[in-house]
Each structure stands twice: as C-alpha cells, then as structure tokens.
Amino acid sequence: MRTLGNVIWLFPCGLITALVWFLLGAVWCLTLVGIPVGLKCFKLATLAIWPFGVTVESNFEEHPVGNALWLCFGGLFFAAFEWIIGIVLCCTLIGIPFAKQCFKLARFSLAPFGATVD
C-alpha cells in the first residue's frame, strides 16, 4: 500500500512540491552561509517526493537558533502552505491519506533542524 500511495502522490502533489523545495535549496546553496538551510531544503524535497512509509520526529530544542531563523525566512510560510493543502485534501474521503502526508511535511518544514526522518 505504501508504494501505491507514493505513486499516486507523485503526480498531483509530489513532483511540484519537491521541485519547489529543490529550487529553494539551490538558491540557498548559492551563498556559503545558506548551505545548511539548502541541505534541509533538499531533505524536504526527497521527503516530498516519496512521503508514504516515512516517519518524521521534530526536535526543536536540538537546534533552536537554526529553527528560529528557518521560521523567520520562510519556514512558517511553507508550513502554512502544506497545512492549507492538507485541509483541502481532507474535504474528500480519498484525500485523507494524502492530507496526512501534507501535515507530516508541514511539521518537518516548521522545524527541520534536529528532526529525524526514518
């Protein structure tokens, strides 16, 4: 079921979201200071393209400065974007599993520093 969910997720949501995260990561990596942020964007891109079967555990306390800066420079916007998509997907019964993946991405995009992806 995990593979089927990922394949179905890939075309309506996964490719677009992963492309946005990848492009954002590439822009951040253009500066030396932004490389850690860019690497987190790449990690989010891989999670966005294949989210089913992956667990995310956030740990804001491990890197509070990095996560606070992340929130200020776009993390809050992307988390809100994922939440809105998740709420829209919850309007249908078929969309509920996909909404759960959006909520997972929103949680990871709020505080990616110190988070573990299994």
Look at residue 1 in the predicted model and tell me its pLDDT. 67
| Residue 109 DSSP one-character state | H
Range of the domain at 24: 2-117
Number of compact structural domains in the chain: 1
Give the span between the Cα atoms of 80 and 103, in whole angstroms: 10
Could you tell me which of 75, 104, 110, 74 has the C-alpha nearest to residue 13?
Answer: 104
Question: Which tokens in the block code for residue 39?
Answer: 């690497």
* Among the listed residues 11, 105, 17, the one whose alpha carbon sits nearest the alpha carbon of residue 58: 105
Query: Would the pTM of this model clear 0.75, i.e. be above it?
Result: yes
Q: CA angle 20-81-24, nearest 5°?
A: 25
Alpha-carbon gap, residue 33 to 100, rounded angstroms: 33
Q: For 6-63, how does the pLDDT look when each residue is reduced to its tens digit (9 = 90+)?
A: 888 888 788 888 998 899 999 999 988 889 889 989 988 998 898 988 888 887 788 8
